Structure 1
């Protein structure tokens, strides 16, 4: 898209693609609308290029950079960001913090590990895509949103208590390893004493 050549001011959430397993281009496309900085792990770069996405930074180890240096010309103005020991996520987040990005969408991250990301929430907002589910953190313990009738997953330390209020009433839920609830169409409110994550299932057939 030609708008990708506009000067970026880090105002839009960056897009970090770590793994495309279970991900379709249709899921990624809306995240590209406002021309974010796009960072891709080396294992996924050729898939992402095949989708026609313009990449800014390839997260790559030295061996990959040497073997694929032609990408710098073929995908100009793409650049390599050096990574050791496959630590793509940490390198990408450190870069985004240093470049003063305020938010990022991370595609292909295991939602079971979101608690490892919580120290980073001090610096910017993160949204996680794990397969067909989009997870976002509720930092202050309170969240209210209008939903279509759907299933949502609540992710928090096991045993956490989350109060849910909607058209069906109010109840308190104790979080289990996998806690999925059905919410009716309309406003649902979630309250907890601590940070928790809400997962929304993305309809890949839409």
Structure 2
């Protein structure tokens, strides 16, 4: 999207920051369109240190007062408290965004492929996920088709994947293109594709 487009509120993907990553430049690029920023309590020190404005924090009920004081200089900030939280805020953040009618989210922080597949079962959001090394994209349509240069690496997470094009299969979760050209991946189910940042 070029800079002359008009963007309405809540049209751009929200940014969910579960944990800090080493690639601050990537996060700064995602912030260029001023998305709603949702943070875990663990990511707050990193966000504050890097002067990133937080819009929503998801935390345990007992931590709300401390977080409000920590972010007093950034008000208004919405603090969503929960009685108990898993090790990740992702499911709560996705539920909040779905309820708030956001169309998409970009998630920042490490993740396992099992967690990625679990999340796809309960969301209608379009999702991207950056783990510091790769940017993962969710394909709900069951189809990925893209022209790629030679020796381009794709990480795969999904089942029943059919791959067409000139590639070398490293293992069930990774391919590398053998020559420049179109790679097409299809599946009757949703799947994720990861590309190096």
TM-score normalised by structure 1 residue count: 0.80
Q: Is 29-38 or 82-91 further displaced after alignment?
A: 82-91
Per-residue deviation, 1:109 = 4.4
Corresponding position of 1:4: none
Corresponding residue SS for 1:69: helix
Corresponding residue SS for 2:68: coil
Corresponding position of 2:189: 194
Q: Is the 8 A contact 2:91 2:119 kept in 1?
A: no
Query: Aligned equivalents of 1:175 and 1:118: distance in 2?
Result: 23
Corresponding position of 1:107: 108
Q: Is the 8 A contact 1:60 1:81 kept in 2?
A: yes
Query: Aligned equivalents of 1:196 and 1:11: distance in 2?
Result: 24
Please list every run of at least 4 consecutive aligned residues from structure 1 whose deviation after the TM superposition is greater than 6 angstroms. none
Per-residue deviation, 1:8 = 6.1
> Is residue 12 of structure 1 aligned with residue 6 of structure 2?
no
- Within a 5 Å distance, the mapping from 1:107-186 to structure 2 comes to 107-112=108-113, 113-121=115-123, 123-149=124-150, 150-157=152-159, 160-165=160-165, 168=166, 176=172, 179-183=173-177, 184-186=179-181
Per-residue deviation, 1:57 = 0.7
Per-residue deviation, 1:18 = 0.5
Cα 1:84–1:200 shift into 2, 3 Å: farther
Corresponding position of 2:74: 75
Q: Is the 8 A contact 2:56 2:80 kept in 1?
A: yes
TM-score normalised by structure 2 residue count: 0.83
Q: How many pairs are equivalent?
A: 186
Query: Aligned equivalents of 2:135 and 2:112: distance in 1?
Result: 9
Corresponding position of 2:99: 98
Query: Aligned equivalents of 1:148 and 1:174: distance in 2?
Result: 17
Residue segments in structure 2 that go unaligned for 5+ positions in a row: 1-6
Aligned CA-pair RMSD: 2.3
Query: Aligned equivalents of 1:35 and 1:26: distance in 2?
Result: 15
Query: Aligned equivalents of 1:111 and 1:128: distance in 2?
Result: 11
